[in-house]
C-alpha cells in the first residue's frame, strides 16, 4: 500500500513534458535499427527453407521473437507436428513468461484491464528492459510506442531478407547467417562473466548440445526436442543445485 502511494507520487512529482507514447517512439528508433539487421538474416534463413515473403512477414509480425522465430523456422523445415511445435515454442519462449511476470508487477492497480491483453505483445528482451527501467508505474503507452516502431523494423527486415536474399552475393548471405548466433552470445556471455555458475551452465549446455549432434542415436533427435530435453534437464538440475532466491536473499541480508 505504501509502495502504491510512493509510486503514484513519483509519477505526479515528475511530470514529463513529452507524452509517454512519443517517448516510446523515440526510444524505439535504435531498437528498430538493430532489429532490422537481425531480422534481415532471419528472412534469409526463412527463405532458405522455402518460406515466401508473406509467410515470413506474418511470422515476424505475429511472434516478434528472435530465438522463437528461429526455432519456428527449424520446426517448419523439419516438418514438425503440432505437439512438437507448441512444446518447443513454450520452452524456447519461456523467458518471456518470466518477463511478463516481472512487468505485471509494474502496472498500476487502476490500469484498465484490456492493457493486460495488449502489453504481452510488447514483451521482447529490449522493450521489456526499457519498460522495466521506467521509475514508478509503467505507462503502457511508452511500451506501445517502442513496439510500433521496432516491430515495423523487425517485419520489414524479415520481408526484405526473403526478397533480397537471392540478389545478395553468397558471401554476404554467409556472413549475415551468423548474426543471430552473435546476438544469442551477447545475451548469454555477459552474465557468464559476472556469475561463474551461469558460465558453467552455458559451457555444459553447449557441450551437451555438441554431444547430441555427434553421438549416434542422440543425433537422430530433432532440433526442437533437443532444445526441450536439454533445457529441462540442465536448467532443472541447476535450479536444484543453486536456487536463485536463496542466494539473492543472503545478499540482501548481508
Among positions 67, 130, 134, 168, the unique one binding other proteins when judged by CB under 8 A: 67
Residues 175-204 that bind other proteins (CB under 8 A): 175-193, 198, 201-203
Among positions 75, 127, 146, 156, the unique one binding other proteins when judged by CB under 8 A: 75
Among positions 21, 108, 136, 242, the unique one binding other proteins when judged by CB under 8 A: 242
Q: How far is the CB of 143 from other proteins (least distance, A)?
A: 12
How is residue 22 written as a grid cell?
512519443
Q: How far is the CB of 10 from other proteins (least distance, A)?
A: 21
Residues 130-169 that bind other proteins (CB under 8 A): none
Residues 15-34 that bind other proteins (CB under 8 A): 34
- Is residue 239 within the footprint of other proteins (CB under 8 A)? yes
- Is residue 81 within the footprint of other proteins (CB under 8 A)? yes
* Span interacting with other proteins, options 9-17, 18-26, 151-159, 206-214, rule CB under 8 A: 206-214
Among positions 11, 20, 63, 152, the unique one binding other proteins when judged by CB under 8 A: 63
Residue in 208, 221, 229 with CA at minimum distance from that of residue 87: 229
Amino acid at each position: 500500500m505504501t509502495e502504491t502511494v510512493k509510486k503514484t507520487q513519483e509519477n505526479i512529482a515528475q511530470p514529463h513534458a513529452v507524452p509517454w507514447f512519443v517517448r516510446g517512439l523515440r526510444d524505439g528508433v535504435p531498437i528498430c535499427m538493430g532489429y532490422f539487421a537481425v531480422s534481415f538474416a532471419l528472412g534469409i534463413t526463412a527463405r532458405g527453407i522455402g518460406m515466401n515473403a508473406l509467410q515470413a512477414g506474418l511470422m515476424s509480425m505475429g511472434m516478434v521473437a528472435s530465438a522463437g522465430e528461429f526455432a519456428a523456422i527449424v520446426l517448419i523445415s523439419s516438418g514438425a507436428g503440432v505437439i512438437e511445435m507448441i512444446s518447443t515454442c513454450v520452452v524456447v519462449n519461456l523467458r518471456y513468461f518470466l518477463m511478463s511476470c516481472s512487468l505485471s508487477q509494474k502496472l498500476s492497480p487502476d490500469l484498465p484491464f484490456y492493457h493486460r491483453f495488449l502489453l504481452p505483445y510488447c514483451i521482447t528482451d529490449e522493450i521489456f528492459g526499457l519498460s522495466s527501467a521506467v521509475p514508478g508505474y509503467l505507462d503502457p503507452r511508452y511500451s506501445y510506442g517502442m513496439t510500433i516502431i521496432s516491430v515495423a523494423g523487425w517485419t520489414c527486415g524479415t520481408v526484405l531478407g526473403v526478397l533480397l536474399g537471392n540478389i545478395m552475393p553468397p558471401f554476404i548471405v554467409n556472413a549475415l547467417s551468423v548474426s543471430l548466433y552473435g546476438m544469442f552470445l551477447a545475451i548469454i556471455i555477459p552474465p557468464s562473466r559476472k556469475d561463474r555458475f551461469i558460465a558453467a551452465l552455458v559451457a555444459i549446455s553447449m557441450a551437451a548440445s555438441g554431444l547430441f549432434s555427434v553421438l549416434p542415436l542422440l543425433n537422430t533427435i530433432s532440433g526442437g526436442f533437443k532444445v526441450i530435453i536439454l533445457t529441462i534437464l540442465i536448467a532443472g538440475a541447476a535450479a536444484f543445485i543453486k536456487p536463485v532466491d536463496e542466494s539473492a536473499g543472503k545478499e540482501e541480508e548481508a
